Copies of this chain bind each other. A is one copy, B any other.
Amino acid sequence: MATRFALQLSLRTAIFSARSSNITYRSFASVSSFHGRTHRDQKELVHGEPKGPKIVSKTVPGPKTKAGLQHLDSLQDTRAATMMTDLNKSIGNYVVDLDGNTYLDLFCQIASLPLGYNSKALIDAASSPEMIQMLVNRPALGIQPHSTWAKTLEESFMSVAPKGLNQVFTAMCGSCSNETAYKAAFMYHQRKKRGLTAEISAEDLNSCMKNAMPGSPDLAIMSFDGGFHGRLFGSLSTTHTKALHKVDIPAFTNWVSSPFPNLKYPLDKHQAENAKEEARCLKAAEDKMKTTKTPIAALIVEPIQSEGGDNHASPAFFQGLRGLTKKHDILMIVDEVQTGVGATGQFWAHDAWGLTSPPDIVTFSKKFQAAGWFHRPEIRADAPYRNFNTWMGDPIRALQAKTILHEIKSKDLVKNAADTGAYLKQELQQLEFKYPMVLSAVRGRGTFLAFDLPDPQQRDAFVTKLRSLGVNTGGCGPKSIRLRPMLVFQKKHADIFLEAVEKVASGSP
């Protein structure tokens, strides 16, 4: 089936790759032929894609990419860069690098590209008079919104607003979406405490100017161990994934975090023990709420902890959290920056929870290309300018969100993610069964999938080997690989990916 895979990987490259990784995979069965995988005739969502990945350079990254990154590194840090892309040549699910290597992309600019490279719909929208006008005349949306801004909001974000949340605050990225949501939660908390119509005291107004209490109050956002909510000072205080992200940066020392369930996968085979683990975590969360000396204004949680390792919890857990936040008068913020916009097989991942009372705030970014948060009207600040910045988002990215939604609806891309994901997960579980010493804990919803390797080193080597086979993925948590393909990822692409995974898992050169 090597022709089907269309990999032109020379033996020399494979040897180089195996040598440089310092990892020897246990040799299981030879590469499967995957006779069951015949999706070549599925209706194409992207026209003009190559038939598969193609590696043409002797090393990955190749010499041109290395030189390009070296040049860029003279101006800014490139040590996290794994690739230098040639966007002219990239299309659909395939990204091309500077050496002409073609990769099937399952990482997609850190889970942020929704429709594939050089999407025709986005190209058409990019040339529209409205887009050009917004590009050229960037408004300060808070003080001088333009005539079509309400319409843009209605046709983009508001058309998919989570139930019960009919307001949107627009921002620039996931971190600042979360931070402005925290600010809203703090203001709301203090307003309730003061009495909804009470004036702010002179003491509060004077003390805050020097960052002093009571005007700068000792209040907290509660988060979860393993959660990721951004890297600015407020959001970083709620992020608990990797120490290197946090160390040396002053934090809000009283902002508590609580254990997130550490479940066993597949979820349906470990229901009893997982329920016990979730009960333990709910109890721990309530204990924190009860015992903290610093009042908690809001709790923030991801539907699936992503950076933290694709950690899942059941709808019952989230319903339990909603109950606790209601009971203890704490706002519930659901961070859908990575999970939102369809990849889980539902538009919002929290749609799956069946909450009887919706979250108070839902934040978004990434696949919408634009950022912000939905909220209940009561959470709006009590005076203008209190939650504000110059640009308040970017209307060109909101216009793109409108096009993205149109494509999602007209091509039924959320269903595509659900269907493709179900197939991909089932096949990954087969591989897990076949290579139990290499792959484990296959998990996820839609194409928002992940699996574990035995340890961090083997995970890193696996990602590197996949890349040398023309498949781009990313790590998360200590030893997981996360799949974040675009919404146009189909079963035929899944087949190519699965073949590469089996190739690496089997130790096949």
Docked Cα-Cα span, A264 to B445, in Å, equals 65
**Which chain B residue shows the least CB distance to A139?**
B109
Structural contact, A127 and B138, CB atoms closer than 8 A? no
CA distance A219 to B250 in the complex (A): 6
Contact B366 A86 (CB under 8 A): no
Q: Is the CB of A142 within 8 A of B81?
A: yes
Q: Is A123 an interface residue (CB 8 A)?
A: yes
> Counting CB contacts under 8 A, is A1 at the interface?
no
Please tell me if the beta carbons of B75 and A158 are within 8 angstroms of each other in the complex.
yes
Q: Is A183 an interface residue (CB 8 A)?
A: yes
Main SS of the interface on chain A?
A: loop
Binds B, one of A25-33, A112-120, A273-281, A327-335: A112-120
Q: Which residue from B137, B169, B365 sits with its C-beta under 8 Å from A90?
A: B137
Bound-state CA distance A173–B397 (Å) is 15
Is there contact, CB below 8 Å, between A232 and B231? no
Q: Mark A166-179, 1 if CB is under 8 A from B, else 0.
A: 11111011111001
Chain B proximity of A50: nearest CB distance (Å): 16
Q: Does A186 contact B (CB under 8 A)?
A: yes
Residues of B near A383 (CB, < 8 A) are 79, 244
> Min CB distance, A110 to chain B, in Å?
4
Is residue A314 within 8 Å, beta carbon to beta carbon, of the partner chain?
A: no
A82 located at the interface, meaning its Cβ lies under 8 Å from any Cβ of chain B in the complex: yes
- What are the residues of chain B within 8 A of A176 when measuring CB–CB? 172-173, 175-176, 232
Provide the residues of chain B in CB contact with A77, threshold 8 Å. Answer: 142, 169, 380-381, 384, 387
Most buried by B among A147, A187, A212: A147
Chain A residue total in the interface (Cβ 8 A): 130
Q: A388 to B231, Cβ gap below 8 A?
A: yes
CB distance from A379 to the nearest CB of B (A): 11
A249 at interface by CB-CB < 8 Å: yes
- Is A146 within 8 A of B112, CB to CB? no
**Chain B CB within 8 A of A390 CB:** yes
Q: Which one of A251-259, A351-359, A422-430, A433-441 is at the B interface?
A: A251-259
Interface string of A147-175 (1 = CB under 8 A from B): 10110011000100000001111101111
Task: Kindly state whether residue A466 has any CB partner on chain B within 8 Å.
Answer: no
- The residue on B at minimum CB distance from A98 is B147
**Oligomeric state, in number of copies?**
2
Does A237 belong to the interface (CB within 8 Å)? Answer: yes
Assess whether A325 is interfacial by the CB under 8 Å rule: no
Please, what's the 1-or-0 string for A218-232, where 1 marks a CB less than 8 Å from any CB in chain B? Answer: 111000010000111
- Known A-B contacts A80-B385, A153-B76; the reply to A88 vs B133 at CB < 8 A is yes
A288 to B490, CA, bound (A): 61
Cα–Cα distance between A461 and B198 once the two chains are bound (Å) = 27
* Residue among A131, A166, A206, A390 facing the most chain B CB atoms (10 A cut-off): A390
A95 within 8 A of B: yes
B390, A81: Cβ atoms closer than 8 Å: no
Choose one: B110, B131, B140, B169; the contact of A76 (CB below 8 Å): B169
Q: Is the CB of A80 within 8 A of B142?
A: yes
- Contact: A136 with B144, CB < 8 Å? no
Name the residue among A76, A90, A145, A220 with the largest chain B CB count within 10 angstroms: A76
Decide if A2 is an interface residue (CB 8 Å cutoff).
no
A-B complex: 6 closest residue pairs judged by Cβ atoms = A233-B234, A79-B384, A216-B251, A211-B251, A205-B243, A80-B384
What are 7 of the A-B contact pairs (CB < 8 Å)? Answer: A69-B145, A75-B167, A87-B147, A190-B247, A200-B244, A215-B243, A233-B234
Given A75-B153, A87-B139, A366-B390, 15 other A-B contacts at CB below 8 A? A74-B166, A75-B158, A79-B384, A84-B146, A84-B147, A87-B133, A135-B135, A183-B231, A205-B243, A209-B225, A212-B253, A213-B253, A234-B234, A245-B385, A396-B396
